[in-house]
Amino acid sequence: SSCWIAPILPQAMWCAVAVRAAIPRKPGTTTMQQIDFYHHVRDPLGFACKLASTVMGKGQRLLVLLPDSASLARLDALLWTWQPTSFIPHCTLDQPHAAETPVLLSTQLPAGMAPAPVLLNLSLGVPEGYTRFERLLEIVGEEPSSLARARQVARAYKAAGLAAVYHDMTGR
């Protein structure tokens, strides 16, 4: 996977990224403010690209958590080609330019502080340490197994005292 170089980012976004990264958080504290479930999504990886673009367009950074390296490779390729006239700057969490890159990809959450304020969870479960993020996004496909998994994940978040917002994406 190629890593995006920071100077391509518009200068206005440099400030947003720098300010967001500079906000100190105490390790182990819950910062979770919002959980969004997008359910009945026809193309989950394509929709992940759309969400990444939206989050990035708001000047925020995003970590996409994937279940395995094959899924990471598929999303990596799609982020470069998702739109015919643009791409979504991204790299894996372990690459040298990760601190300056708006969209990060990983198959596991790093220890310590969250590397981005927004987590897009495609890991097929409840990620340990998700409360370190300010916002959590979940994409749920149309197939029954995806919907059943999402119900289990939503119950776990509710049991932790967190409320979720549900977005029905049927037909979109």
| pLDDT tens-digit map of 88-115 | 999 999 999 999 999 999 999 998 888 8
Burial of 102 (0-12, 13-18, 19+ CB in 10 A): buried
Q: Is 28 left (phi over 0), alpha (psi -120 to 50) or beta?
A: left
Q: What is the pLDDT of residue 112?
A: 86
Fill in the amino acid letter for 94. Answer: D
Q: What is the pLDDT of residue 155?
A: 94
Q: How many CB atoms lie within 10 A of CB 86?
A: 10
User: Which residue in this structure is represented by tokens 């100077």?
Assistant: 7
Q: What is the pLDDT of residue 87?
A: 83
CB 59 within 8 A of CB 89: no
**Strand pairing partners for 91?**
104
Which stretches in the chain have pLDDT values below 50?
Answer: 1-30
Burial of 65 (0-12, 13-18, 19+ CB in 10 A): buried
Structure tokens at 91: 């790299």
- pTM for the model stands at 0.80
Average pLDDT, the chain: 83
